Each structure stands twice: as structure tokens, then as C-alpha cells.
Amino acid sequence: MAQKKLPLEGVKVVEMGTVVAAPTTARVLCAYGAEVIKVETLDGDVMRLAGTHEFTPYEDDLNPLFTIHNSNKKFLSLNFKTPEGKKILMDLLKDADVFITNVREKSLLRNGLDYETLKAWNPGLIYAHFLGYGDKGPVASNPGFDISAFWLRSGPIADWQTQGSFPFLPTYAFGDMATSSSFLAGILMALYAKKETGLGTKVNTSLFASGIWCNAIGVVQTQFDRKDLNPDPLRPTDPFNQTYCCKDGRWIGVYCNEYVEDKEKLAKLYGIEEIIDDPRCATIETMQETGVIVDVIKRCNEIFRTRTAMEWRDYFSANNVACEVMMKSHEVSSDPQAIENGYMVPVEYPDADHTTVMMPNPPIWFSDYDRKEYEPTGTIGADTEEILTSMGYSPEEIQAMKDSGAVR
């Protein structure tokens, strides 16, 4: 059987991104065949050091967090503020299809790397600029982090926290990962248009835009009667779309499509058949208006305490009811469903212990195209010599640029 092709073979990407969102977008393009050259400063992407605050190894030969967002790329380390470094970068961009960056606008303008300049240099270039808050407005120039621009400003943390408790803290870079998917979609649309017209374009998105989009239901519904999205746990909108604590202290969520339609089936499964013909329980509205929802939820809480979470999951799954146990992140890496589908794959690192880490795969599969397998990431400037040699520089020229601090 002939080897499957990669769907993005022939696409050249120059990435000048840091931390998670922009590099992840480039990493997914790379996984499906694009050649991605990651341009780092001489000190490297700060994400290389993320393990210091996430309690994860961050050595050159064992850096799993950095690998998630940068596997399969080529690594070029240069100082683009030097004449030699700037020339290398511009030469790379001359025949690139995509330029991905999250450097702030003022710095790009100051260094001649703004859209208008690069468009004149390469009319077919897709200029993908990732932002914190957008390119307009009173805080356009503010630094934007995942937790600040995606989570805090777009509403979900305030609305989801339990009243009076410390706000929940999402996993590091969760919003970055979500936003990278939107950014990827925009770049792919631009590549499609370029195939038709030969012309590039500027593509941008922001953490704030993505946070609003992901919280779209909440942002719209709170413009009407429901201002509080996290009501008293004894007064949920629907007892059949609710989380319950089980016998073993673990939580399970059980969900249905429509209360009236599913009431009889779920009431019998729950063991609360008395609500089926109770006029106070005819609809969600009548349950709320009469206050009987409190009694129903108290009864459900008692019932769910009679079995473990896994026992409830088996029971509801056998009856074709959507449900899931609230899992811990550490359990996902050994989840047989994730492993069998290739959502989690083992990657062996070249450290002294040959440490193997279960790594999450980009969540896209094709029947007739392949993808690159995970590779541990290289060190800062790991491919500098190879890239510069392919561009026509001699060993002596490369060494001279290393000596002058133009490249590493």
C-alpha cells in the first residue's frame, strides 16, 4: 500500500511565536505536513521554562510541555535586530506561505515586520497575527495572557465560581489551546483563498475574541432575564442536566436533551417516579415557580449517594443516557478510550532514563492522509546550521554570525 501523503505538504511556515497559542497553531500545521521554521531569540521561547512553575521537567532532552506546542518544527535562533539576523528572517519570509507571530504591533512596526512591509516583500504571504485583546480599542496594546484576556474578561470565571468561594483556576494555557483552533481555521481559509488567487492576506484573532466566542451562550442569554449563570445548587434549571455527588465522593453529570420529552424515562431511572404525574413538575418553569425543584434536587442528592460514580455511569450508559464521571487530569493519560483512539500517545525522550510521557495528539484525523508522529523538541538553535546552509551560507559565514551574536 502506498504511503499516505500529508495534507499540508509543500506549505512553508515561519513562526515567530512564544508561549502557547501562536506556537500551537504552527505545531498543528506542522503535524499535517507543513514545514515550520520556529524563529526564537538567542535566549529561546520562554515556554521552554514553563516547567519551573508547572512542576514538570524542562531540560533540553526532557521538556514535555514545550514539546506539546513545538514538536516536529525546525529551530532557528537569531537576533533579528542585527543586520545579519534581519536579513536571514527577511530571506526566509521571501518564499514563505505563512508568517505566524504574537509579537505586539508596536515592536513589529519598529522592526519593519508589519503587515504592509511584508506584503510588499511577499504579496502571497499569509500574515497571521495573534493578539491579546484585538488590534483596536482602548486596551489593544495591553499584554494579554490566557487567564486575563480569555478567561477573566470574557465572563466565565465570574459566572461559574461557587458563590463566596475562591475563583476556580483553569489549567495553564487552556484558553490558548482553544484560541489556537480558531487561529488555525483562519489560516487554512487564507491558504485556500491563496490557492485560488495567489494572494496572501492578514489574519488575526485574539484571546479576548475567542473567550467571547466560547462563552457565546452566556454572553447572549445574560442580556435577558437570567443574569446569574451559577444559581443556588438547590435550584438548577433542570434536575436531569445536573451534577451529583456519589457514594464514593466523586461527582457525575447526567444530561438529557429536553425535560418534558425525557421526564418519564429519567424519572424512572432516577427512582423519582412520583414527579411524572405531579402537575408541579410538568415543566421546568412550573418546578421553579412552585419551588418544588428544591425538594426534587434534595431527593436526587440522596439517591445518588447510594452508588459510586462508576456504578452510576455504567447504569446510565446501559440505558443510553448521556453522562460522565468528573475525571482528574492525571487519569486522562491512562484512559483506554483516549489511548485506543490515539488521543494520547507515548513519546520517549532522549534523557538518561529514556523517560516515556503520554502526550495529547492534535485532535484531527483523516482517512486518506497521514500526520507526523510526535518528536521530542530540539534545543535552542538546534537547526540553525542546517537552515542557514540550505539558504546558501558557508560554514565560515555561519560561524562568524555565531561569534557576532547574530545567531545561535
- Which residues are the active-site residues? 176
DSSP 92-156: HHHT-SEEEE---HHHHHHTT-SHHHHHHH-TT-EEEEEESS-SSSTTTTS---IIIIIIITTSH
Q: Is 377 exposed, middle or buried (0-12, 13-18, 19+ CB in 10 A)?
A: buried
| Grid cell digits, residue 5 | 501523503
Spatial distance between the Cα atoms of 14 and 118, rounded to a whole number of angstroms? 13
| Grid cell digits, residue 131 | 493578539
| Grid cell digits, residue 366 | 483523516
Spatial distance between the Cα atoms of 313 and 318, rounded to a whole number of angstroms? 8
Look at residue 221 and give its three-state secondary structure. Answer: helix
Q: Which residues contact 292 (CB under 8 A, 6 or more apart)?
A: 278, 280, 281, 286
Backbone angles phi, psi at 299, to 5 degrees: -65, -45
Look at residue 40 and give its three-state secondary structure. Answer: strand
Say what angle helices 174-197 and 207-214 make with each other, to 10 degrees: 100
* 127 bridge partner residues: 99, 202
With vertex at residue 192, the alpha carbon angle to CA 120 and CA 184, rounded to the nearest 5 degrees, is: 90
